[in-house]
Structure 1
Amino acid sequence: MKNTFKTFLLLTILILSSCEKTEIASIQNSTQDDINYFIWKGLNVYYFWQQDVPDLADNRFATFDDLYTYFRGFSSPETVFESLLNRPEDRFSVIVDDYVALENSFQGLNLSNGIEFGLVRYKTNSSNIFGYVRYVIPNSDAASKNITRGQIFTSINGQQLTDTNFSSLLFSSNTTYSMGFADYNDGDPVQNGTLVSLQKTDLQENPIAIAKVIEESNQKIGYLMYNQFSRNFDADLNAAFANFKSENINDLIIDLRYNPGGSVQSASYLGSMVTGQFTDQVYSKEIWNQKILAANPPETFINNFTNQIRNLDATGNVVVEENINSLGLNRVYIITSGSTASASELLMNALSAYIDVNIVGTTTVGKQVGSITLYDSDNLRKTGANFNTNHNYALQPLVLEITNKNNVNYPNGITPGTDLPGIILAEDFDNLGTLGDVNEPLLSRTIQYIITGSKTNSKQQKAANFDEIYDSKMATPAGNNMLSEGRNIEL
């Protein structure tokens, strides 16, 4: 093996991973140097836009000394990472300093008081922010304090929420705070004197919030409210579909209005549960950077419909293996919002190439790109040799673009009635209704759509004119990532 970094970079990545940095660096490297090198190597190998970032070029650094010295000019790993991204096109790549929290978040386990909420600008004073409770996770502190969907809050620890302080007030490391509630007042909330002290704990949310059968006008309609594509709950999802199948439902509504995404594999499972008649046909296609594409056969980047759930743990052991309960449907109805992202959009896009996908809600986020988790080891995987235990950083960079079988995706989001058939209908913060109840506005309109076929929407939606800027799920380590499990990707 040659002791020059330039030659080292021109070798295959497997050889790159096996080299010892200390053999070719004269500078005594620190943990900070190791982290900086890990960031650079991970993005150099996997980043979707690697060829477009000059500092990620294979020949950017002649020696490790050059690399260490260059990145010592940055104040933190986060600034190093940010400097290597293709902003603003890349809106979603992140670095975390606690990979355990990230892993937990992908399985629905987060530090939370149980309130899932959206944040919205005031009607007349746009710098002020109010929150609205979307739902409350069962067995949480918020549930024990009788917090309910539809409540409005405007302050934390006595401070009015604004567009400059909401992050520090709501999403800091503090595990307790006092939340001040208000009356809606047509979008300019007025505090009503209600204060509730809330405690954050490690809380796991079952993403299958509601799974029920609704009987309406001699129709049996399955309703699934699904809030994250989490592999940890694939078997539970399959069980819900077993019930739908046993009930012989005629139609299916999947409520993804608060679903920020998650596992690509779980999305293909859900698509296979909805259908069943397309086993082994193309569900979606992935495009990676040229390095990864060149190193792998084309079939590596195809996700297929399947008739079986088969999930492995990090060491390759089978943790779930069972047949999929498929409904064989030729149409499906999806409820969306401006928080519907990534794997949720993938489900709609992938299915639309085969069956009728009808949407009720508002335009989705527009996240047609996916990521993988990179760790500081020789092969950038958690099971790789020489795993660096001196820090807990991990990368979640965008590494792929995903399309349906017809090479179609929607980078600007999916708009009901424009991109796919459907009805534009926003939530009304003054009348959110009860999730799963047939009178809840979006569910009610979707049922009407199924029964009558009518797309006419005469009701004015007050919420449509409000600017919703953030939500609680975006603040979790998993955020609105679309996670590729990197099936058999070789380096």
Structure 2
Amino acid sequence: MRSTLHISKRSCLNWMCMAACLVVIQTSCKKDKNTRPDYPVGSNENINTWILDSLKRYYYWTESLPAKPNLSIAPKEFFTSIRSGSDRFSYIILPNDPASYPPSSRGKYGFDYSTVKELNTGQVIGVIRQVLSESPASRNGLKRGDLIRKINGKLLSEANAETLQAELLASNQVSLGLAELSGNSLVDTRSVEVSTGVILDQREISRILESGGRTIGYLNFDTFNPGLAGSLLNVFANFKGSGISDLILDLRYNGGGQVAEAAGLCTLIAGLPYDKPFITYRGNKNGGTRTESIGSAATFDGTVNFSTLLQNNLGLTKVYILGTGATASASEVMINNLKPYIQVILIGEKTRGKDEASFRIFDDRKPKLVDWEMHPIIYKLFNAAGNGGYSNGIGPDISVNELETLPLLPFGDVNDPLIKAALSRITGKTKVALSALKQDRAGAFKIGSVLTNTHLLATENSIVITHR
């Protein structure tokens, strides 16, 4: 989910004045009619000129922009044609045109799945990895761990896995043929029809776990939406009142969001003072370099009081974070930017690798002349120790692939392989637990390769959101 913060024109003149949310950009430079044609409003040339002018000012790779691009082509094609070859994540949309948005199984139906191939038999199945509450998927009885054998009546195979995923993402209704494992065999169970519909905001999942004589907090939330830190104050107050000694933060499918909320969560975990350096933004020649404190980052949008965050902080010196390839953006900011201050133990898989930030660029002229909105990369990100450069992902300290143990269990279940690995590390029984896990896998359905992953696809367009 994305949100915007509308600020005054005076604030717009100083694009480095804040740092934690989306912002409005006004690009109303006067044209020199002696050097630039006066293109008709609404024409590709007019829109693309606005795109190019905006990118020249804010784009991280502004020096790579072509001097004389083809302004006559469609805006989306134009934007793609002038992007830097180093740019993996910038995108452009029409806010009122759903077709211009990146496709998302989660956004349409409320679930994400991976198509996997079994190592020994070559069987192909879809594994539902997440089902959002109060979504079309949950209302039709789907749950995490369900297995998909057919999509729209077609048996999944290695040859058609990507085609059927594209078919699912392109339509507004899908038929899923479910199955369950009986030993190494798949047995068909039922068919489910799911249509697009309303998906409500997701609540966090929190638990108090007891293991090896220790009291451990577990927290899973879906995105770093505006107001997240404030909404979790009661959760952290409960953790604090319960006297937890350790915290497991489950970000395995968290695609990120606002820097402000990442800073707020770091404050609740570690209790860092207001003026501790938290994040450094490095932009182009116009943006320069700016370092921001954790207090400034956490409170700039006014959704939470920093003193309130400190009152509920856990004062931990260590945190266990669960991650996968779908852990991206602000989730990675938390992992990287806590490291100068406390020990961060990452469990699971290598993260997505989004060490870059953006803010939304759109036309704020009166009247508006361009409907398109851009989300270009504006900054590279670094922590208080000057460390960044994790574009290839952040590697785990303890490597665990949740798909190696089916069926997938509900979030917060102590037998979930990622949670089990964290509990084992906390209680000092890591070797024993890993040995038991290997025995559990013996003779089981073994994942040979992942063919498709809708959650990974969705993280292509989740960018760390900051301000100008």
TM-score band by shorter chain is 0.7 to 0.9
Give 1:279 deviation, angstroms: 3.1
Deviations 1:283-325 (A, max 9, x none): 12111111221xxxx5xx223222995363xxxxx55546212
2:321 corresponds to:
334
Structure having greater relative contact order (Cα 8 Å, sep ≥ 6): 2
List aligned pairs for 1:413-432, cutoff 5 A: 413-417=393-397, 422-428=398-404, 430-432=406-408
SS of aligned partner of 1:165 = helix
Give 1:348 deviation, angstroms: 0.9
Counterpart contact for 2:351–2:395, Cα < 8 Å: yes
Counterpart contact for 2:347–2:418, Cα < 8 Å: yes
Deviations 1:466-491 (A, max 9, x none): 22542247438x8332111x1xx3xx
Deviations 1:44-100 (A, max 9, x none): 2211111123x1xxxx25xxxxx7xx321x2x222111111112x221111112269
Give 1:254 deviation, angstroms: 0.2
Which one-letter code corresponds to 1:412 in the other structure?
N
Match of 1:81 among 79, 100, 108: 79
Distance 1:215 1:480, change over 3 A: same
Distance 1:99 1:118, change over 3 A: farther
Which one-letter code corresponds to 1:340 in the other structure?
T
Counterpart contact for 1:180–1:191, Cα < 8 Å: no
Moved more, 196-205 or 252-261: 196-205
Distance 1:243 1:288, change over 3 A: same
1:306 corresponds to:
295
Q: State the alpha-carbon separation in 2 of the partners of residues 15 and 334 from structure 1.
A: 39
Q: State the alpha-carbon separation in 1 of the partners of residues 183 and 281 from structure 2.
A: 45
Distance 1:389 1:463, change over 3 A: farther
List aligned pairs for 1:346-425, cutoff 5 A: 346-375=333-362, 377=363, 384-386=364-366, 388=368, 391=371, 393-409=372-388, 410-417=390-397, 422-425=398-401
Distance 1:39 1:202, change over 3 A: farther
Match of 2:52 among 11, 16, 40: 40
5+ residue gaps, structure 1, are: 1-11, 62-66, 313-317, 378-383
Match of 2:215 among 217, 220, 223: 220
2:112 corresponds to:
116
Give 1:438 deviation, angstroms: 1.4
Q: State the alpha-carbon separation in 2 of the partners of residues 32 and 138 from structure 1.
A: 42
Distance 1:163 1:116, change over 3 A: closer
Which one-letter code corresponds to 1:18 in the other structure?
C
1:247 corresponds to:
242
RMSD value, Cα: 3.4
Distance 1:165 1:289, change over 3 A: same
Distance 1:133 1:205, change over 3 A: farther
Which one-letter code corresponds to 1:197 in the other structure?
E
Residue 234 (1) aligns with residue 229 (2): yes
SS of aligned partner of 2:219 = strand
5+ residue gaps, structure 2, are: 1-13, 16-24
Residue 17 (1) aligns with residue 28 (2): yes
Give 1:191 deviation, angstroms: 6.8
Residue 466 (1) aligns with residue 462 (2): no
Which one-letter code corresponds to 2:410 in the other structure?
T
1:140 corresponds to:
135
Q: State the alpha-carbon separation in 2 of the partners of residues 16 and 122 from structure 1.
A: 53
Deviations 1:317-373 (A, max 9, x none): x55546212111100001111211121111111111111111211111111112211
Which one-letter code corresponds to 1:466 in the other structure?
S
Distance 1:177 1:163, change over 3 A: closer
Q: State the alpha-carbon separation in 1 of the partners of residues 162 and 399 from structure 2.
A: 34
Q: State the alpha-carbon separation in 1 of the partners of residues 51 and 120 from structure 2.
A: 44
Residue 435 (1) aligns with residue 411 (2): yes
SS of aligned partner of 1:334 = strand
SS of aligned partner of 2:55 = helix
Counterpart contact for 1:360–1:416, Cα < 8 Å: yes
Give 1:223 deviation, angstroms: 0.3
Give 1:455 deviation, angstroms: 5.9
Which one-letter code corresponds to 1:347 in the other structure?
M
Q: State the alpha-carbon separation in 2 of the partners of residues 481 and 230 from structure 1.
A: 12
Moved more, 326-335 or 272-281: 272-281
Q: State the alpha-carbon separation in 1 of the partners of residues 294 and 50 from structure 2.
A: 35
SS of aligned partner of 1:466 = strand
Give 1:163 deviation, angstroms: 4.5
1:480 corresponds to:
462
Residue 287 (1) aligns with residue 285 (2): no
2:40 corresponds to:
28
Deviations 1:396-431 (A, max 9, x none): 1111110111221222211123xxxx3444432523
Counterpart contact for 1:426–1:463, Cα < 8 Å: no
List aligned pairs for 1:271-282, cutoff 5 A: 271-282=266-277
Distance 1:429 1:95, change over 3 A: farther
1:3 corresponds to:
none
Q: State the alpha-carbon separation in 2 of the partners of residues 49 and 82 from structure 1.
A: 14
Q: State the alpha-carbon separation in 2 of the partners of residues 389 and 289 from structure 1.
A: 27
Give 1:16 deviation, angstroms: 6.8
2:196 corresponds to:
200
SS of aligned partner of 1:284 = strand
> What's the TM-score once normalised by structure 2's chain length?
0.81
Q: State the alpha-carbon separation in 1 of the partners of residues 369 and 149 from structure 2.
A: 42
Q: State the alpha-carbon separation in 2 of the partners of residues 146 and 15 from structure 1.
A: 46
Which one-letter code corresponds to 2:138 in the other structure?
A
Residue-pair matches, total: 429
Residue 49 (1) aligns with residue 32 (2): no
Q: State the alpha-carbon separation in 1 of the partners of residues 285 and 446 from structure 2.
A: 44
SS of aligned partner of 1:274 = helix
Q: State the alpha-carbon separation in 1 of the partners of residues 63 and 370 from structure 2.
A: 30
Give 1:155 deviation, angstroms: 3.1
